[in-house]
Amino acid sequence: VATLGVTKAVPGGAPGGLIVDMDGVLYRGDQPMPGLVEFFELARAYPFALITNNSSVTALDCERKLARMGVDVPASAVLTVSDTTARYLAGAPLAGRRALVLGSPVLKGAVAGAGMELVDSSADVVVVGLDMQLTYAALAEAVRSITRGAAFVATSFDAVLLTEEGTAPGSGAIVAAVQACVAAAPVCMGKPSAAMFETAAALLGLRPDQTLVVGDNLRSDIAGGAAVGARTALLLSGVADAPVPEGPRPDYVFAGLPALTGYMRSTWSE
Ligand SMILES: [Mg+2]
């Protein structure tokens, strides 16, 4: 078995479905990971959802990117954090439907698609994600709306982005700037929060504890998946770091997709 450093008893048998992080698992930037096509040949036997904390891409963007890599996955199998935010807002008990969004055009589109009116001030809900056009004026309006009682929603607490130029502020840094000024804590939509995993599982018609979460980030994918009762598999192909004794403990650790595929084929197929 191609597991490495598994430190607790591994549950047997196939899960009801797969929830798979994309960046660092299926690809890195525009580069497909080795074994991507072979993984999907096998993964297609199970219900699966592909998830990302990136609030600047749409599910259709992800479908097209994977198609360029030779993998045919419908946008309906992709759940971005913008989609999760839209689903949450559609059912959230808000005082009104006015939304101030600090975020990408994609996030704004998703929020508008949930029946919200996009406004620049006096909002009923403030949604904060990665906003590369962020201004002081918008930050101040966000703080004012929340201080007056608006709901506070964050796409993720991911503080930094790793770019070709180096480390840059991520959505979590902008969330932190707002949070420093207000008494309220945000409701977080992205990994490691339960919202992302519960929404993905619901799309599969499953409970989170019936799924296997596959990811490359111990804190967001593994800790978040474990917190909702999912089995978790860490791939060392992305940002992770091998598990440390005091950190979240994945049920499985694989070097990359080929090792995961090999494990699935040998262990789940009978
Ligand atoms: Mg990742």
**CA distances for 71 relative to 41, 62, 74, 265, 266, angstroms:** 9, 11, 10, 19, 22
pLDDT number for residue 270: 55
Residue with tokens 């006096």: 122
Angle between helices 36-43 and 257-268 (to 10 degrees): 30
Is the separation of the CB atoms in 233 and 253 below 8 Å?
Answer: yes
Alpha carbon of 147 to ligand 1 centroid (Å): 34
pTM for the model stands at: 0.93
Alpha-carbon distance of 70 to 66, in angstroms, equals 6
Residues of the chain with pLDDT under 70: 1-12, 240-245, 270
Facing residues of 212 across strands?
18, 231
pLDDT number for residue 43: 96
Alpha-carbon distance of 244 to 169, in angstroms, equals 26
Alpha carbon of 21 to ligand 1 centroid (Å): 5
Alpha carbon of 28 to ligand 1 centroid (Å): 9
Alpha carbon of 215 to ligand 1 centroid (Å): 6
pLDDT number for residue 164: 80
The token duo for 243 is 């598990």
Is the separation of the CB atoms in 196 and 84 below 8 Å?
Answer: yes
Alpha carbon of 216 to ligand 1 centroid (Å): 5
pLDDT number for residue 13: 82
Torsion angles phi and psi, residue 79, rounded to 5: -125, 110
